[in-house]
Amino acid sequence: EEDVFEYKKSLAIRTSGFDVPRPVKTFEDCGFSSQLMAAIKKQDYQKPTPIQCAALPIVLSGRDIIGIAKTGSGKTAAFVLPMIVHIMDQPELQKEEGPIGVICAPTRELAHQIYLESKKFAKSHGVRVSAVFGGMSKLDQFKELKAGCEIVVATPGRLIDMLKMKALTMQRATYIVLDEADRMFDLGFEPQIRSIVGQIRPDRQTLLFSATMPRKVEKLAREILSDPIRVTVGEVG
């Protein structure tokens, strides 16, 4: 069944799936730590964007999500903020066991943007973020990963290289984000995505964001997500 929430007169948030948590109206509704709230305020984010209103309570409740919203709608914070909460909820932070949160993005430019955005929120809790994409020395990247981190932001190809080099393992990974999934498919990363996800324990939380949902992406989503809630943000037409 489908639920439609009106965000503004012209904008609807559509959700489908069972037991969908209601959208939040404010960041205060999310139960974030005071450190995270301060980081949000520092970004001058007054209130959540529509995709954030719908996605934050879903992801914070531990559910898998398929998020469909256009570019510029604020998807990054929708997956980064709950990721910090997820990491802080782990019993203890141990070194050199690999990332807890893994974010895959199609291009280095996008991975870099997500890396910068993640760091702004991660540093409020001393969470370490590593970027893994082409254009940097593999040796430097290897060393950085060996030093340990809680979050990896990566392009699929370079992440596979680092996994093969045993720069990191996925044994601690429990929160995976596939951002711009449609573009990753367009760029031919489907085998790499399947390989990466296949190395992550099945009781993980999986988030998939995409501007469009072609059949191939839909098929992957059905295979790797568990009882996902689908959120679509769009104009009322």
How crowded is the C-beta side of 84, counted as CA atoms within 13 Å?
29
Binding partner of 72, given ligand ADP, Mg ion, none, CB within 5-8 angstroms per partner class: ligand ADP
Written as six digits, the tokens of 161 are: 């290289």
Q: Does 8 engage in binding with ligand ADP (CB under 6 A)?
A: no
Q: Which of 19, 91, 81, 71 is nearest to 45 (CA)?
A: 81
Contact residue for Mg ion among 75, 86, 172, 204 (CB under 5 A): 75
Q: Does 106 engage in binding with ligand ADP (CB under 6 A)?
A: no
Phi/psi at 96 (nearest 5 deg)? 55, 40
Give the range of 55-63, 68-76, 138-146, 187-195 binding ligand ADP by CB under 6 A.
68-76
Q: Does 108 engage in binding with Mg ion (CB under 5 A)?
A: no
Total number of residues shown for the chain = 237
Contact residue for ligand ADP among 13, 23, 24, 48 (CB under 6 A): 48
Q: Which is nearer to ligand ADP, 48 or 57 (CB)?
A: 48
Q: Which residues contact 230 (CB under 8 A, 6 or more apart)?
A: 14, 15, 16, 17, 65, 66, 68
Return residues touching ligand ADP (CB under 6 A): 45, 48-49, 52, 69, 71-77
Return residues touching Mg ion (CB under 5 A): 75
